[in-house]
Amino acid sequence: METNHISFREAYARDTGLPAPEFERAVFLRCVPPIQRPVARVLLWLNPGVFDRDLATMREVAVATSSEDVRLAARDLRGGGFYQRNLLRDAIGVRASGRRLVAIARQVLK
């Protein structure tokens, strides 16, 4: 278990050099399978509301200080208690992967 007190957002910015305000979008796109990223980028540009729940989860995990906290929050990406169906998002199957999110957290929250 990590004893680190740096937030996921800060650790990600440190490791990638990406400005902290770009965390949600950057991590969201890294959590989308590579083959679906171009579609996700277009949808973010055309209708960013399609990914409201995904981006809300990214904001939620931004303050996490352990990969366990990220893992618990990532359950909502797939179908946790707060998951809200979205016809467009669900029909085309473009969504952030909770497994990828946890893997990124484990990598940067060393």
Q: According to the model, what pLDDT value does residue 79 have?
A: 55
Contact 97, 105 (CB under 8 A): no
Please say whether the dihedral angle defined by the alpha carbons of residues 17, 18, 20 and 24, taken in this order, is positive or negative: negative
Residue 70 has pLDDT above 90, yes or no: yes
Query: Which of the given ranges, 19-28, 71-80, 81-90, has the highest pLDDT on average?
Result: 19-28
Q: Tell the residue number behind the tokens 């409201």, with chain if given.
A: 52
Contact 97, 77 (CB under 8 A): yes
Using pLDDT thresholds of 50, 70 and 90, give the confidence band for residue 91: low
Which of residues 25 and 75 earns the better pLDDT score? 25
* DSSP state for residue 3 in the 8-state scheme: -
pTM of the model: 0.83
Q: How far is the CA of 32 from the CAs of 25, 26, 93, 94, in angstroms? A: 11, 10, 10, 7
Domain boundaries, the chain: 8-108
Residue 92 has pLDDT above 50, yes or no: yes
